[in-house]
Amino acid sequence: MDQVFHALGDATRRHMLRDLAGGERTVSQLAEPFAMSLAAASKHIKALENAGLIRREVRGRTHVCRLEAGPLASAHEWLSFYERFWSSRLDVLEQLLRDEIARKSPSPPTTPTPKGDDK
């Protein structure tokens, strides 16, 4: 999982993964939005391959990449623990703030009922 988070730690690689979610892309297509050399793109792709996030296939002289989402599911599962942790903490904080506001708010004045209206 360390390699997955290492790969996801770079904005360029996250963008490449997002592009690959739309379907297969060549190395050139993945490099294009960044105006980077194919060698630089290949280094990013290698990090994604090492993490198991993509698979590269050579078709003639063209390298085609596709997304392998399995490791993302493992990372999501790991992160979901912390999502639940922080959600519960924020729920506690919200309740504390609501209690504090209620404590500081003046009670609404009670209006006495006029005498003789006890019917």
Top pLDDT among 78 and 110 is at 78
pTM value is 0.68
CA 56 to CA 39: how far, in whole Å? 15
Task: Classify residue 38 by its DSSP letter.
Answer: H
> What would the pLDDT profile of 53-62 be if each residue is shown by its tens digit?
999 999 999 9
Using CA atoms, how far apart are residues 103 and 97, in angstroms rounded to an integer?
10
Strands (DSSP E) contained in 1-119 are 25-26, 54-59, 62-67
114 pLDDT above the threshold of 80: no
Q: CATH: 1.10.1060.10, 1.10.10.10, 3.30.70.270, 1.10.3720.10. Which one for 2-69? A: 1.10.10.10
CA nearest neighbour of 23 among 61, 90, 69: 69
CA distance 29 to 36: 11
Domain boundaries, given as residue ranges, for the chain = 2-69
